[in-house]
Amino acid sequence: MKRLLFFLLSVIVVINGYSQVAVDSILYRFVYDAQLKEVKDQVQLRPDEHCLEIGCHGVSKYYSRWKAKRKEIVDSINAIGGSYTDIIRENQSQGAESSSFIYEIIKNYPKNGEQTINLFSIQNLQYTEKAGMEWIVEEGDTIIMNHPCSKASTDYHGRIWTAWYALDIPIADGPWKLCGLPGLILHASDTNGEYIFNCIGIEQVDKTPMTMYNKRITKIEAKKAHKTIEAMENDPIGYMNMTGKKVKMTIMDKNGRVISDMPKIDNRVFIETYH
């Protein structure tokens, strides 16, 4: 049932459509195997493939490659006036995996030391905040992808993170919002074991445009954005009805029986909290 609800939420997001604008040119792309917890009683973490793009002028972008692929399909089908059924068919044809990761993070944009956050849900929300966090350098070392790595930790927005960063890759960036160490973060995880990011590949890119989605974006303050996201994702149908977008759906289980009540996802796990 929970997987069905996440699917329904993705249907709503698809309807929104997407557009993008160039913010820099890409020099490098670091690929991360991401393992994410969606709901509290989830036994296995959900896999995803994320990318960190490093730009020529200091801008970086972090996003789900799986979600980006689906966005491209949405745009291409919408451009020719296709239907939602066409989108589903094309997703299946191209093997485009679904993703519950709603973040697109543009660091050092609109100016150095700041980051622009796009959150893709029923509504597309955007806010700007100061980038970075305070790190504590810890004892320990390891090797990741043949790069010697040092250890650091931080307490950030409700989670304690441990990061392994490579001093021989002098890029002060990393997965998700994590950044600010004197080397690229190749591995990061929180103490609850609910979010794990592990770098698995490095791609050199020949100055391909780095883009940011900017269509139908509601600009909002950070704390309010996350409170709104919690309301949207815990009860997507209820949220739409509350905002005047009445939704009536006939939902069936795997045996073809009609499900009369749409339960809330009130045990949803979020990567950060704002107080």
Chain segment 122-181, per-residue pLDDT in tens = 889 999 999 999 999 999 999 999 999 999 999 999 999 999 999 999 999 999 999 999
Predicted confidence band of residue 102 (pLDDT cuts 50, 70, 90): very high
Mean predicted lDDT score pLDDT of the chain = 87
Query: Across-strand partners of 35?
Result: 47, 196
pLDDT exceeds 90 at position 207: no
Q: Which residue has the tokens 């590949």?
A: 201
Among 10-19, 113-122, 265-274, the range scoring the smallest mean pLDDT is 10-19
pLDDT of residue 267: 81
Confidence (pTM): 0.87
% of the chain at pLDDT higher than 90: 61
What is the arithmetic mean of pLDDT over 198-204?
96
Three-state SS for the chain is: CHHHHHHHHHHHHHHHCCCEEEEEEEEEEEEEEEEECCECCCCCCEEEEEEEEEECCCCEEEEEHHHHHHHHHHHHHHHCCCCHHHHHHHHHHHCCCCCCCCEEEEECCCCCCEEEEEEECCCEEEEEEECCCCCEEEEEEEEECCEEEEEEEEEECCEEEEEEEECCCCCCCCCCCCCCCCCEEEEEEECCCCEEEEEEEEEEEEEEEEEEECCCEEECCHHHHHHHHHHHHHCHHHHHHHCCCCCCCCEECCCCCEECCCCCCCCECCCCCCC
Sequence ranges of the domains in the chain = 2-131+194-259
Mean pLDDT, residues 239-267 taken together? 61
pLDDT of residue 264: 56
Residue 67 clears pLDDT 50, i.e. is over it: yes
Q: Are 171 and 183 in contact (CB under 8 A)?
A: yes
Residue-wise pLDDT for 10-26, tens only, equals 444 444 555 789 999 99
Across the range 89-115, mean pLDDT stands at 92
